[in-house]
Structure 1
Amino acid sequence: MKPFNQNQSPTAMNSEAPTENLETIAQAQDHFIQSIKDATNNPDDLIIQSFPPNITLIYIDNLVDDQTLNNNIIADLQNKPNDTPEILMAALSIPEVTVTSLLIKAIEGIINGSVLLHIEGYPQVVIANIASRESRALSTPENESQVIGTQVAFNESLSTNISLIRRYIVSPDLCNEKIKIGRRTNTAVTLLYMNGLASDQMVNTVRQRLASLDLDALIDSAVLAEMIDDNSLSVFPQMLLTERPDRFCDGLLDGKIGVIVDGSSMAIICPQSFTEFFQSQEDQNLRWQIATFVRLLRLAAFFLSVYLTPFYVAALTFHYEVIPQAFLVPLSESRALVPFPPIFEALLLEIIIELLREASARLPTKIGQTIGIVGGIVIGTAAVQAGITSNILLIIIALSALASFTSPSYMMGNVIRLIRFPIIILAGFWGFYGIMLAVCFILVHLLRQSSLGAPYMSPFYPPRLKEMRDSIIRMPIPLTAKRPALTRSKDDYKFDPEPIKPKKS
C-alpha cells in the first residue's frame, strides 16, 4: 500500500489541486452538519447553533474568542440581513473572513479556531477566523541569560515570536513563509530570511527539506532541527537553537535562515559553524577586549572539560614521567587508600556528577538547587573519606563539570558531557596514544561535517585568514563590516568598510 502523503491532509492540501476530486459543501443544512460531525468525529466541544431564517453557526469551543464571537458575529447575524454568503461575508465585522465551496477548507478552518456560517440552499460556507490561542507572557531568557542587552525571550506563540522579530527588523525584505507539517498535528512552521541577503540555494534547501518531511506529528523545534540538518547521526549540532530574538535577528541580518515552530520557544538558525556555538550575543555588547577574553575562556574551558580527566587517567596509568616531582608525593598519598584503577575511579565520579546534574534538573527548582549543592558536597566528602576516590581527582572532576557549563549553547554543552566518556576509556587503555586517537577522530569528524552544505569548521577549513580573527577573538565593530562567508550572502558588507575618520575641531 502506498504510504499516506502529507499533501493529502486537510491543512496541507494544495490550493491548486483539481477541485473535481474534492468534496464540496452540501446545500442542505442537515447534510452539511452531518459531514462536519463525521469529519471531526463529533467531539463534545463541537457547538452548533441555528439563527433565523436559515443560518447555521458551527465552531469548536475553547478554540474561538468568546468576546469576538458574541460582539461581532452573533450580533451581526441578528442585526443585519444575510441572504447570500457574499452578503453575509460583507456583513461580518471580522478582519479574516473567506468563502469556500470545499469541505476540506471548512474542516481546516474549524480545527484552527474559525467559525463556520452556512446558509440553507447554498453550496458555500463562510469561514470567520476568530481563533484564541492561549500563551504565556513574555519573560526573560532562561538558558541564554546575559547582563548587558535585551531581556526578552521567545514564547510558545508563533504570532508573538514573529511580532518580536518584526520589532527588531522593520523592513519589507523580511520574508515569512508558513508551512504545515504533521499529518495529525498540522503544526505551523515559519521559514524566515532576508530577501537580498540570504543565499537562494540555502533558502531552497531548507524549503525543500521542510516540504519533504512526511511526519505524523511535530511538537518541538529541536526535533525539526535534527530531521533537517545535514547529518542527523552526528553528536555535534549543525543548527543553533536559540530563545533570544536579538540573536535570531542578528543571524538573519548576516544572511542566515531561521525557522520557528508553533508551540516551541526555541528558534532555529542555520547555517552554523563550530566556533559560533561558543559565541554569545552579549559579546557584541561588551568592549572587544573583554569579549575576546571571554571567548578565549570558553574555548579553553571546552578543552579543559574534555581532556583534563583523560589526561589524569593516562598519566597515572601509563605516563608517570609527565607528572612533576613536586606532585608525586601528594598524589601518591591521595591515592594510597583507593583500591580502584584510575579509569574506574574517574568513570565512577563522572557518572555521579551526571546523576547529580540530571537529578537537579528534573526536580523542582528549589529542591533541585539544594540537591545539586548539598549532594555534591556530601557525596564528594564521603567518597574521599571512604577511600573510593582521591581528593585530587575530585577537584579535577569538579573543574571539568564547571567548565562544561561555560558554553552559551545548551546543545554544545551536552556534547561536551558526552564525548568525555569515550576519551576517558581510550586514555585508560592506551594512555596518551588513546587521547591522540580520540583527538584525530573528532577532528576528522568535524572537518567532514557541514551545515546546509557550508563547511562546519569555517573559517579554519577551508582556511580564510581574514575571518579567523573574528571567530576566536571579537574584533572591534568598525573592522567587522564583511559578512561571514559561511552564509554566502548576496551582500558582502554590512556597512562601509572604510574607517570613519574623526572630525577635528
Structure 2
Amino acid sequence: MKFKLPFNKKQPPIANDPVKEDIGRITPSKIDFIQSIKDATHDPSDLIVKFIPPNITLIYINNLVKDQTLNDHIITILQNNPNETPEIIKNALSVPVVNISTQLEETVKSLVNGTILIHVDGYPQAILANIATRESRSLSAPENESQVIGAQVGFNESLSTNISLVRRYIVSPDLCNEELKVGKRTNTSISIIYMNGIASDQMINTLRQRITNLDLDALIDSAILAEMIDDNSLSPFPQMLLTERPDRFCAGILNGKLGVIVDGSSMAIICPQSFIEFFESQEDQNLRWLIATFVRLLRFSAILLSVFLTPIYVGALTFHYEVIPQAFLVPLSESRALVPFPPVFEALLLEFIIELLREAGARLPTKIGQTIGIVGGIVIGTAAVQAGITSNILLIFVALSALASFTTPSYMMGNVIRVTRFPIIILAGYWGFYGIMLAFCFILIHLLRLSSLGAPYLSPFYPPRLQDMRDSIIRLPFPINTKRPEITRPGDQDKFDSEPVKPDKS
C-alpha cells in the first residue's frame, strides 16, 4: 500500500486572490512601468524611452516604427495635451489602431511588433498606438516560376503586401482572411485565405486545426509550415504546392482550394494539391487549348524521360541485350570499348557529376554560376569521354535526363525527380528491367496511399473522375471545363455558364 505525504499534496488555488490578480498588470508608477518593460525585454540597446513633461512616457523600439508618423501624429498631439487622461489622449491620436491595455504581457507583445507605448503617470494602463513599419523589397517578377504570357509580378516577404496582391485579383467580400500566430519565440503571423461558399468547411477546419495544434519554437518560412502540416511528412513527394505567383495562388483559391501566406516568406501555400497539378503551369491557362495540351504532353513525356531513360540504358546493357537494335550495337560497343566500369557505376558517376554542377551553379553568384554550369559541363564531359571513364552515348542520355527534369514547373517536385533517379538506376543495375518495374510499382503504390489535406493525391485518375480529366494531362477548351475540380469538394461547383454567348449579327 502506498501513502502520500501531507506536504506533497497540492493546495487548490484561492479564488479571487488579490496577489494573483496583480501579477502581470501595469503599475501606475512611471518608474515601475519603465523598469517592468526593461525587465520583460531584457533592456535592449534599441529600446527608446522618451519623456513628455509633465507626466507622459513614450516607449518604443527603434527602426520598428514610422518616424514621421511618430513626430507628426503622436508627439505633437501629446505636447498639446500634456495633462489629459489616457481615454482623452486615445481619442485625440490620429492613428488608425489605438488601444488601451492594463496587462503587461499584452503590452510587451505589442511593443515588439512596432507599437508605441504611451503611459500617463498615475494611471495603471498604457495606450498602444500601432505605427509599425516593416522593411521589404519592392515587387518584382517571379524568379522560379517565370512565364511568357501572363502577369509578371510575384509575392515578396511582406504579409500585408501579399494579401493586397490577392485582393487585387479577387475583389469580392467572400474572400476570407483568418490570421493566426505560430511559433512561441518568433510569433510569426500567418493568414489562411479561402472563398466563402466555395471552399469546403471540412477542409478549412482541418487546416485550421493542424496549424493551431503546432507546438513550434520558431517558424521562419512557409516550406517548414507545409512540411509540418502535410498528411505524410516522411514522403519525399510534396503534398502542398509552394508558389510565388499571385495569379496561380488566386486561381487555386477560386477553384475552392485553401491558401496560406506566412509573414517573412515569398512563397505561398496552396492545398489540397494532386500529383498531376505539380506539373501544370499557370501559363497553360493563358495559351490556346491545343497549344496548352501539346505543352503539357511534352512536359509529362520529359518527366518520364528524365526518370527512366538512364535506368533503361543501364538495364539493357547489363541484362537485356536483346532489346537493343542491331544497328545500334556496333556504335554502342565502340563507345564502351575503353570504359573499365560497369554501366551502373558509370551512370551513377555521371549523375553525381551533373548534380554537383547543378548545385554549384545554384549556390554561386548568377554570372559565375552560369559559367560554371556551361564550361564545367563541357570540360568535364569531354575529358571524361576522352579518358575512358564514361561513354559518349551515356553522356548524351544523362544530359537529356538532366535537361528534361528542368521542365517541371514546381521546384520541389523537380528535386524529387532528381533524387528518384538514383535508386532506380541502382535497381536497374542489379535486376535489370525487373528492378525498374519494381521501383515503378513501389512509387505507384506510395502515390496511391498519399493524400493532400484528406483528398486523394492521384486525383482525377484514382479514384477516376472523368469531369476533372478535362483539365489534367490535357486541357480542353474553357467552355467544356465548367466545373470546379472535385478534389476540393467545392460548395459551388459551377465556374460559369456553359452556354456560349452568341454574337449579335444585326
Q: TM-score, structure 2 length as denominator? A: 0.95
Instruction: Find the counterpart in structure 2 of residue 247 from structure 1.
Output: 248
Cα distance in 2 for residues equivalent to 1:416 and 1:301: 11
Report SS of the residue matched to 2:181.
Answer: strand
Given that 1:22 and 1:104 are in contact with CA atoms closer than 8 Å, whether structure 2 keeps it comes out as: no
1:133 aligns with 2:156: no
Deviation at 1:91, TM superposition (A): 1.3
Letter in 2 for 1:459: P
State how far apart, in whole Å, the 1-side matches of 2:50 and 2:477 are.
65
* 1:370 corresponds to: 371
- What is the alpha-carbon distance in structure 2 between the residues aligned to residue 181 and residue 377 of structure 1? 48
Which residue in the other structure is 1:450 paired with? 451
Corresponding residue number in structure 1 for 2:178: 177
Give me the whole-angstrom Cα distance separating, in 1, the residues matched to 2:498 and 2:236.
38
CA distance in 2, matches of 1:215, 1:41: 23
Contact 2:53 2:82 in 1 (8 A): no
* Counterpart residue number, 1:490: 491
Counterpart of 1:5? none
Structure-2 change in CA distance of 1:265 and 1:37 (3 Å): same
Report the CA distance shift for 1:82/1:454 in structure 2 as closer, same or farther (over 3 A). farther
Gaps of at least 5 residues in structure 2 are 1-19
Deviations 1:66-118 (A, max 9, x none): 11111111111112355111001011111111111111111011000010000
Aligned partners of 1:445, 1:411: CA distance in 2, in Å?
18
Q: Which residue of 1 aligns with 2:271?
A: 270
Q: Matches of residues 42-191 of structure 1 in structure 2 within 5 Å?
A: 42-191=43-192
The aligned amino acid for 2:139 is L
Q: Which residue of 2 aligns with 1:327?
A: 328
Taking the TM superposition and a 5 Å limit, the aligned residue runs for 1:360-399 are: 360-399=361-400
Does the 8 Å CA contact 2:159/2:261 hold for their aligned counterparts? yes
In the alignment, is residue 297 of structure 1 matched against residue 307 of structure 2?
A: no
3-state DSSP class of the match of 2:479? helix
In structure 2, what is the equivalent of residue 438 of structure 1?
A: 439
Change (3 A) 1:24 1:443: same
2:315 aligned partner: 314
Q: Which residue of 2 aligns with 1:3?
A: none
* Aligned CA distance change for structure 1 residues 39 and 473 (closer, same or farther; 3 Å): same
Identity rate, percent: 76
TM-score, normalized by length of structure 1?
0.95
Partner of 1:193: 194
Is the contact between residue 482 and residue 497 of structure 1 (CA under 8 Å) also seen in structure 2?
Answer: no
**Structure 1 match to 2:5:** none
Using the TM superposition, give the Cα deviation of residue 498 of structure 1 relative to its aligned residue in structure 2, in angstroms.
3.0
Distance, in Å, in 1 between the alignment partners of 2:310 and 2:409 is 22
User: SS of 2:467's equivalent?
Assistant: helix
Cα deviation, residue 382, structure 1: 0.2
Moved more, 312-321 or 469-478: 469-478
- Residue 469 of structure 1: how far off its partner (Å): 2.8
What is the CA-CA distance between 1:347 and the residue it aligns to? 0.1
CA distance in 1: counterparts of 2:192 and 2:43, whole angstroms: 34
- For 2:230 and 2:494, locate their aligned partners in 1 and report how far apart those are by CA, in whole Å: 27
Q: Distance in 2 between matches of 1:434 and 1:128?
A: 66
Three-state SS of the structure 1 residue aligned to 2:315 is helix
Which stretch shifts more, 343-352 or 185-194? Answer: 185-194
> Which string of whole-angstrom CA distances, capped at 9 and with x for unpartnered residues, describes residues 117-156 of structure 1?
0001111100001111000000000000000000000000
Number of aligned residues: 487
CA distance in 2, matches of 1:465, 1:173: 29
Q: Is it true that 1:342 corresponds to 2:326 in the alignment?
A: no
Separation in structure 2 between the aligned mates of residue 354 and residue 232 of structure 1, nearest angstrom: 24
Partner of 1:498, secondary structure, is coil
Q: Distance in 2 between matches of 1:110 and 1:292?
A: 54
The alignment partner of 2:250 has SS state of helix
Q: What amino acid is the match of 2:233?
A: S
Partner of 2:10: none
Q: Name the SS for the 1:478 alignment partner.
A: coil
Alignment of 1:210-225 (within 5 A): 210-225=211-226
SS for the counterpart of 1:441 is helix
Instruction: Report if aligned partners of 2:256, 2:490 keep a CA contact under 8 Å in 1.
Output: yes
Secondary structure of the structure 1 residue equivalent to 2:58: strand
SS at 1:236 equivalent: coil
What is the distance in 2 between the residues matched to 1:96 and 1:468?
49
Aligned counterpart, 1:427: 428
Structure 1, unaligned stretches of length 5 or more? 1-18
- CA 1:395–1:451 in 2, change beyond 3 Å: closer, same or farther? same
Q: Is this contact kept in 2: 1:82–1:88, CA < 8 A? A: no
| Separation of aligned partners in 2, 1:93 and 1:255 | 40
2:469 and 2:317 map into 1 onto residues whose CA distance is 37
When the two chains are superposed, the root-mean-square deviation of aligned CA atoms in Å is 1.0
Q: Check whether the contact 1:82–1:91 (CA below 8 A) recurs between aligned residues.
A: no
Q: Name 1:469's counterpart in structure 2.
A: 470
d(CA) in 2 for partners of 1:206 and 1:24? 35
Preserved CA contact (<8 Å) 1:22 1:102: no
